[in-house]
Amino acid sequence: MVALDKAETDVRDGVDRETVEAVNAMAGKYKHGWETDIETEYAPKGLSEDIVRLISEKNGEPEWMTDWRLQAYRRWLQLDEPRWAMLHYPEIDYQDQYYYAKPKSMSGKPKSLDEVDPKLLATYAKLGIPLKEQMILAGVDGAEAAPAEGRRVAVDAVFDSVSVGTTFKAELMKAGVIFMPISEAIREYPDLVKKYLGSVVPASDNYFATLNSAVFSDGSFVYIPEGVRCPMELSTYFRINAENTGQFERTLIIAEKGSYVSYLEGCTAPKRDIAQLHAAVVEIVIMEDAEVKYSTVQNWYPGDEEGRGGIYNFVTKRADCRGDRSKVMWTQVETGSAITWKYPSCILRGDDSQGEFYSIAIANNMQQADTGTKMIHLGKNTRSRIVSKGISAGKAQNTYRGLVSVHPKAKNSRNYTQCDSLLIGDKCGAHTVPYIEVKNNSSRVEHEATTSKVDDDQLFYCRSRGMDEEEAVALVVNGFCKEVLQALPMEFAMEAQSLVAISLEGSVG
Amino acid sequence: MAAPARSAEAEARLAGLQLPQSGAWLHLARGAAVSRLRAMGLPVKRDEYWKYTDPTPLTVAAVPVAQVIPGETEGFDGIDCLRLVFVDGVFDAAASDNPALAGVEISRLAEAATQDIHWAHEVYGVLEARGQTPVARPLAALNSALATDGVLIRVVGKVSKPVALVYHQTSTASDAILHHCVKVEDGAELTLLESGPAGARSNTVMEVQVADGAAFHHVRTQGRDHERRTLTHVFARMGNASRFKSFTLTANGALTRNEVVLELIGADGVAHVAGAALGNGMFHHDDTVFITHQGTGCESRQVFKKVLRNGATGVFQGKILVKQSAQKTDGYQISQSLLLDDDSQFLCKPELEIYADDVKCSHGSTSGAIDDTALFYLRSRGVPEREAQSLLVLAFLAEAIAEIDDATIAEAIQARLESWLAAGAH
Amino acid sequence: MLEIKNLHVKLEEEDKVILKGVNLTVETGKVHAIMGPNGSGKSTLSYVLSGRDGYTVTAGSAKLDGQELLEMEPEARAAAGLFLAFQYPVEIPGVGNMTFLRTAVNAQRKARGEEEMSAGEFLKVIREQAKTLKIDADMLKRPVNVGFSGGEKKRNEILQMAMLEPKMCILDETDSGLDVDAMKLVAEGVNALRSEGRSFLVITHYQRLLDHIKPDVVHIMADGRIVKTGGPELALEVENNGYADILAEVL
């Protein structure tokens, strides 16, 4: 373990340098704000039972799936949009959205990546995600590839409402790993999907999850069989391209006994003046001795300096550690979106199960983020750890909201929470809203939170050594986030570091 | 705003109580409080602010019965102070000391009906009304509307000894609604003590205006049995370079909710709020604190410790709100509980809401059992287990008790605590 | 090299004047020392020269090779060749020492229009420099100054100096908080960097550091001014008689 850490530190030192280079090279602000000019097929605007049926039909779903969606839709009609978060945004007109948008060229269902529309392949290439079965590094444009020979990442690329392609499918299948768009899984593995879909996040869970259950169009499905260590990292890359279109993806990951998988998720969208809705659901089922790592670099378009446009990101993510000694680790870097409403949670049901949550949330300009986690300790000897780093700049509001709940039967459990906020400038806000519920005495729960501004002495020290102010801020903020960055897979750590710097551009001076 | 059901409850409660006879200004203040209460309705369990404490025993019209325990000692025996005694929520002049004391003017709220106590116009119900945003506190409005008694204290100098409010319960169904107003004028200083049970059920509001350079020290003891229901609110508003310190010791009581709503308006103010609670069995103890920083360079500190056993519940809801104007704020908050057995629980919501950047704010919260290693260490040195446990409990509470400035009062609190632990009352 | 003329400085937030007309010229390749009692303005001078916030220059100038320092941002001063070894080096949690230095080295090189140092070359150079200063590999990886002892922090300052290759080095009370061995080590590091093209301004309260870093010129500062200038013997005079005699003589 020690030796491993050392090696990683060496590499990270390299990463840091490249980060700074990358940041310097990128003068622009949001670098994924371009749009792909492609013909798109839409379902009619608005939401109704007919639209739900249409989505189901487009995906060629069996009847049970259509019924499941319709039930969710009917339930949704009875729910009210939650308003408890510290988020202020204009009322969302759910009838003024497209719920299904797909590139026309995808109608013919390409059989392999070779048949996929070159425009789509080019889109992903431009995002730094070449859809080829070769070494893939989800790195930053212009950054040299870190020395990580042999690291391969399988990618499922979701473009608006549909999956464009999935790499390494065959090779993964050899290991018994199923990695495919959920739309396909519903057709090809109906028993698995039927068994697990909605078992962690029920269709009636909350307003946005219920909406997702009714209208989700695609997403990724992952199944790791018993005892299998997934031979490569899996990733899904979400791209919203079409205008006025909500993206509602659904991810379902099942890790059978003793299996392991590391899963990465990335998201971007073009710059537009009108806000767009994104309501995703991720469900993870983890059996005995299995382990899942789920990392997100969320870089949706954040809107402009005046708060025009941007993605409204309402996401429900939950992992159910069903088996004893199962383990889940959520790592998120939230830099994008105009509105972030997201609480990746861990249900620690199995004895000795473990949940970890590492988060960096950056809000600049007019962004608002209300994000955190829930750790529900149900089993004995369960462990959880929360490390949250919130950074507010500009006129942004950033809230950590979390729950640690230790049930009476969860004897000998432990939680440690560290929740730090950094303020850059005097027009922004940083808020901390933890709920802590401890119902037995053999468990130990510790929570610490701090809020402070970026340290002037540290900035001056950096500048006296020759760094300019933005570079100094980026360095100090990356230091502030270090613990979380270290929890990310290396390629993501690199992208995340540069994102931290880019997201804070214009926040000083 | 209020759901119809909760308005109906409020109306039912109002119907069961009579607006006390008052002089013109007080009558107006009570009327305004009634309107506030009607607009808010009474609190219910599903309210976010009552997430961890069921307000029903405090809102129902019928007073839950509480046994009278004879021979209870007061909290501050042996301390030289001016005693003002209330029995079942009514001032007892015969049992009280002569309220004449240099530097302080004391009058009875019930007598304000006939007197025009000018300064009180700007305090009574006013601080409470300010404290209704951003979070509604309907039961405090109910108190302003219906309080039957209380004291009005104006402090103009350094008072030579503490003023003590001593409460007695003699009826198993007394429903005491007391309302005190304190104004500490520029540079003046007062120590106010409170002890004893105000009634089988009590609802006490204290409004404290601390002017520039003034200091207010508040130490109280409450509880000591298993049946009483107590709700207290302290609303404080602080001027430049003023000081406010409040400490509460609670032992048992079926339900106790202590709210402190404090605004640091002027610059360089210092506010410390602390509490130590010991709960055994049917015990629900809730500290709810809301501190607003508006002035620059202020310091606030919250230290709350609870020792719980036999199914006792401890609740802490504490918030530090730092407004954009409040640069150079130093805010600290710690809430900890020691769970002595597996049935007890600690429910906690420590919040920070910060809109100024040049601040240092932190909070911490822990919950856990007594440190086995420390316990063993003490026992290996010959300290019997019970005694060792008491020592560790005292050590755990020490940080809260250290918040009491006056050494004599701190000793009295410490002695009381030690005797409770020694007697196994806890 | 460094030319300070009639420098007047007050605190930004208070109306307190700290420097009341400092005149000082440090020639290329020379080591000047500034000694003076506490509160004489020595540290303020070092902070003002390096561009720290909180001070207002009310009059005067400070030029490095003819270039006015006082109008430049701190990073521009660094790129121009000015280096301040801090009396209290700042801790930066989470930022690796090596990362910090490489970022600084390359930022300066870029500002000067020079080619950046490659990762390999950087590693080679820093390892050599670290070795002479007895800085182990672990210290290079740890976050900047976090958990460093007093001596480690000062050595780390000298390491930065060695890596950044400034032409004008200011050492602010570098001996404070060091025992004799640690001071020797630091002084050796400094002496190794002495060269024809590099000047030093050594600020110290005590003479003992000057036993190890031999100055060419010694200045005595008091009440915001340079009140006496002389050779190394001036430092010895302070050592033997304290500041009182000199101050009585000049004030």
Q: Measured at the alpha carbon of residue C51, what is the angle toward residues C46 and C53, in degrees to the nearest 5?
A: 105
Q: What pLDDT is stored for residue B385 in this prediction?
A: 83
Smallest CA–CA distance, residue C231 to chain A, in Å, is: 30
DSSP for A38-75, please give it. --EEEPPSS--HHHHHHHHHHTT--HHHHHHHHHHHHH
- Which of A465, A469, A482 has the highest number of chain C CBs within 10 A, making it the mutation to test binding with C? A465
Highest mean pLDDT among A18-22, B68-72, B78-82, C106-110: B78-82
**Which amino acid is it at C4?**
I
C-alpha closest to that of B338 among B364, B300, B361, B312: B312
ipTM value, please give it. 0.89
Query: Range of B245's domain?
Result: 4-422
CATH-assigned architecture of domain C2-183+207-250: 3-Layer(aba) Sandwich (3.40)
Neighbours of B3 (CB within 10 A): 11
The answer to whether C56 touches C236, Cβ cutoff 8 Å, is no
Which pLDDT does position A2 carry in this prediction?
32
Do B256 and B288 touch, CB atoms closer than 8 A? no
The pTM score is 0.87
Q: Under an 8 A CB cutoff, do C103 and A460 touch?
A: no
Question: Is residue A433 a contact partner of residue A403, using CB atoms and an 8 Å limit?
Answer: no
Chain CA centroid to CA B105, Å: 23
Chain B residues with beta carbon closer than 8 angstroms to that of A434: 348-351, 365
Q: What is the number of residues in chain A?
A: 509
Distance (Å, whole) CA C247 – CA C227: 8
The answer to whether C164 faces chain A, any CB pair under 8 Å, is: yes
| Each residue's pLDDT tens digit, A152-163 | 788 888 888 778
Tokens 């009491």 belong to: B404
- Predicted local confidence at residue A3, as pLDDT: 34
Distant-in-sequence contacts of B1-4, Cβ < 8 A, 24+ apart: B1/B39, B1/B40, B2/B38, B2/B39, B2/B40, B2/B41, B3/B41
Residue from A168, A151, A1 nearest A492 by CA? A151
**Secondary structure of chain B in HEC code, one letter for each residue:** CCCHHHHHHHHHHHHCCCCCCCCHHHHHHHHHHHHHHHHHCCCCCCCHHHCCCCCHHHHCCCCCCCCCCCCCCCCCCCCCCEEEEEECCEEECCCCCCCCECCEEEEEHHHHHCCCCHHHHHCCCHHHHHCCCCCCCHHHHHHHHHCCECEEEEECCECCCCEEEEEECCCCCCEEEEEEEEEECCCCEEEEEEECCCCCEEEEEEEEEECCCCEEEEEEEEECCCCCEEEEEEEEEECCCCEEEEEEEEECCCEEEEEEEEEECCCCCEEEEEEEEEEECCCEEEEEEEEEECCCCCEEEEEEEEEEECCCEEEEEEEEEECCCCCCCEEEEEEEEEECCCCCEEEEEEEEEECCCCCEEEEEEEEECCCHHHHHHHHHCCCCHHHHHHHHHHHHHHHHHCCCCCHHHHHHHHHHHHHHHHCCCC
Hey, what's the torsion of the CAs at A212, A217, A220, A223, to 10 degrees? 80
Residues with pLDDT less than 50, chain B: 1-2, 426
Distance in Å, alpha carbon of B236 to nearest chain A alpha carbon: 23
CB-based contact, A421 to chain B, within 8 Å: yes
B125: left (phi over 0), alpha (psi -120 to 50) or beta: left
Backbone φ and ψ for A223, nearest 5 degrees, come out as -130, 120
Residue A35 CB contacts under 8 Å (≥ 6 apart), including other chains: A241, A270
Residue type at C78 in one-letter notation: A
Distances (CA, A) of B233 to B112, B129, B164, B230, B287: 21, 12, 17, 10, 10
The pLDDT value recorded for residue C112 is: 85
| Three-state helix/strand/coil letters over A148-209 | CCCCCEEEEEEECCEEEEECCHHHHHHCCCEEEEHHHHHHHCHHHHHHHCCCCCCCCCCHHH
Q: Inspect the interface and report whether the beta carbons of B367 and A430 lie closer than 8 Å.
A: no
Rounded to whole angstroms, the Cα distance separating A203 from A70 reads 10
C103 with A16: Cβ contact below 8 A? yes
C51 touches A at CB < 8 Å:
yes
CA A161 – CA A56 distance, rounded (Å): 12
Q: What is the mean pLDDT of chain C?
A: 90
> What are the helix (H) ranges across chain C?
42-50, 74-79, 97-111, 119-132, 137-141, 150-164, 180-193, 208-212, 233-250
SS3 C31: strand
| Residue B378: predicted pLDDT | 79
Chain mean position to CA C130: 19
Q: Stretch C109-121: mean pLDDT, rounded?
A: 87
Residue B153 confidence (pLDDT): 97
B284-311 per-residue burial string, b: 16 or more CB within 10 A, e: under 16: bbbbbbbbbbbbbbbbbbbbbbbbbbeb
| pLDDT for A135 | 42
Q: Decide if B365 and A440 are in contact by the 8 Å CB cutoff.
A: no
pLDDT tops 90 at residue A6: no
User: Which residues on neighbouring strands pair with residue C229, listed in sequence order?
Assistant: C219
In this complex, do B345 and A439 lie within 8 Å of one another by their Cβ atoms?
A: yes
pLDDT at res. A7:
33
The answer to whether residue C81 neighbours chain A at the CB level (below 8 Å) is no
Confidence at residue B69, expressed as pLDDT on a 0 to 100 scale: 82
B352–A449 C-beta distance less than 8 A: yes
Q: How many CB pairs under 8 A join A and B?
A: 116
Interface check B345 vs A, CB under 8 A? yes
For residues A468-486, average pLDDT: 90
Q: What is the pLDDT of residue B115?
A: 75
- Higher pLDDT pick, A500 / A432: A432
Q: What is the pLDDT of residue A109?
A: 67
* Per-residue pLDDT, C53: 85
Residues of chain C contacting A16 with CB distance shorter than 8 Å: 96, 99, 102-103
pLDDT band, very low/low/confident/very high, at A27 (cuts 50, 70, 90): very low
Confidence of residue A13 (pLDDT cuts 50, 70, 90): very low
pLDDT(A19) > 60: no
3-state DSSP assignment of residue A22:
helix
Q: Which two tokens stand for residue B317?
A: 């809801």
Q: Omega of the bond prior to C143 within 30 degrees of 0, cis? A: no
The partner residue sitting opposite C99, judged by closest CB among A13, A24, A469, is A13
Looking at residue C195, the DSSP 8-state letter turns out to be: B
Q: Domain locations in chain C?
A: 2-183+207-250
Mean of per-residue pLDDT scores for chain A:
86
Does residue A52 contact residue A73 with C-beta atoms inside 8 Å? yes
Neighbours of C159 (CB within 10 A): 21
Q: Which residues of C touch A464 (CB under 8 A)?
A: 50-52, 74-75, 77-78, 83-84, 86
What's the total number of domains in chain B? Answer: 1
- Tokens found for residue C26: 């440090």
Q: Read off the pLDDT band of A508 (50, 70, 90).
A: low
In degrees to the nearest 10, what's the CA dihedral of A119, A123, A124, A126?
130
> What pLDDT band is residue C242 in, cutting at 50, 70 and 90?
confident
User: What is the structure's pLDDT at A11?
Assistant: 35
Range with the largest mean pLDDT of A16-20, A350-354, C170-174, C208-212: A350-354
